[in-house]
Amino acid sequence: MAVHLSSNQVHYLNIALMILSAGLAFSFPFETFLLAYAVLGPLHYLTEISWLHDKGYYTQGRHDYLFLVVVSGLVSIAFFGWAPAAPKGSAEFLTGTAFAGAFFFALLRNPAARWAALVPAALASFLFSSSMAGSAFLGLFLPTLVHVFIFTGMFILMGALRGRSFSGLISLLVFTLLAAGLLLWHPAHAGYRVGGYLRDSYGVLREDGTSSSPFIALNFYVMKTLHLHDFGNPKDLGAFVQGANDFLYQNPLALSFMAFTAFAYTYHYFNWFSKTSIIGWHEIPRRRALAILALWGISLALYAVNYSLGLRWLFFLSFTHVVLEFPLNQLTLLGIGKELRKWAFPSSLPVPARK
């Protein structure tokens, strides 16, 4: 039988899960991330997509979600290089179009208006993704850290505001302080070493300009994009790649960023599973539950055999769950604005008529 917790109990449980996630991420940044991503990640994707399906994906049209699924498929094809003729930046453009289009899918009731709105959404995405900052946001930050950290923080804030919950605000404060501490404090991590299996699983940069995993590419490009480290002159490519790999696996600054990333992902998964009694994502038909468990078991087996194989198997599912959540993200952002307005301007609310 499921344990039914009150909203306050869920907030306090989440504070404990935040502290646990931060402690594990600080002590074992690479191990925590890889374990959480392989074990909790697949179950999270499957159960959230199932829940979103029952909620109609928070879109106005019954079949709007199919556009988002198609976008996820095209981005996956572009990501793995299965379409060599795909224009450069196509994945970023498609992601931006889905994110902007999700706003109209969530709000416009008229079907023709929703689909027509994809034209300005695509135009805005094209202009935004054409800039270096826009391309980095759509291709690097939005599907990863924005999804697991910013949107998670938004959901915590929305729950606290809607429930007028002091414990919810405290949980948001703890969430923010732990993340800031992991990012800004750079201890030497004396004695911490990343072994061969961890490097093989998390990935290394290669001399041909690629990487063996998108994980290590994320660390590298975040450091480079935010000018957190000068990786030097890439003219001597061998020395450049070796130096970059050594920095990303050994430098205290890089380890702090890794700890933050591990915390963000691990708590993102914990947060989802802690809300079972609040949103009831587990209340699904038996056949679907068995299918989810079977797919989860296959995913675990593939990760156990070869981490890269598991990652490739689940990339489409992982990215799809991110994109299918876009309408909910848009609605949550609007909801936060409305709730903050109620708090800031309570006198502007309608006054009930006297009898």
Q: Phi/psi at 205 (nearest 5 deg)?
A: -80, 145
Q: What is the pLDDT of residue 134?
A: 94
Q: What is the pLDDT of residue 355?
A: 40
Is the residue at 348 inside a domain? no
Give the whole-angstrom CA distance, residue 260 versus residue 180. Answer: 8
Per the structure, the count of domains in the chain is: 1
Domain carrying residue 325:
7-192+258-338
Per-residue DSSP letter, 57: G
Is the residue at 120 inside a domain? yes
Q: What is the pLDDT of residue 210?
A: 80
What are the beta bridge partners of residue 205?
211
Count of residues making up the chain: 355
Is the residue at 209 inside a domain? no
pLDDT by residue (tens digit) across 229-280? Answer: 888 777 778 888 999 999 999 999 999 999 999 999 999 999 999 988 788 8
Output b/e per residue, 136-167; b: 16+ Cβ within 10 A: bbbbbbbbbbbbbbebbebbbbbbbbeeebeb
Is the residue at 243 inside a domain? no
pLDDT by residue (tens digit) across 122-161? Answer: 999 999 999 999 999 999 999 999 999 999 999 999 999 9
Contact yes or no for 25/32 (Cβ under 8 A): yes
Q: What is the pLDDT of residue 236?
A: 77
Is the residue at 153 inside a domain? yes
Is the residue at 229 inside a domain? no
Say what the pTM is. 0.92
Spans of the chain, pLDDT less than 70 = 1-3, 190, 347-355
Contact residues for 346 (Cβ-Cβ < 8 A; gap 6+): none
Is the residue at 353 inside a domain? no
Give the whole-angstrom CA distance, residue 84 versus residue 237. Answer: 25
Is the residue at 343 inside a domain? no
- List alpha helices for the chain, DSSP H: 7-27, 29-54, 65-79, 90-107, 111-116, 118-129, 132-136, 151-162, 166-184, 196-202, 214-225, 237-250, 252-274, 276-279, 286-305, 307-324, 326-344
Give the whole-angstrom CA distance, residue 250 versus residue 282. Answer: 41
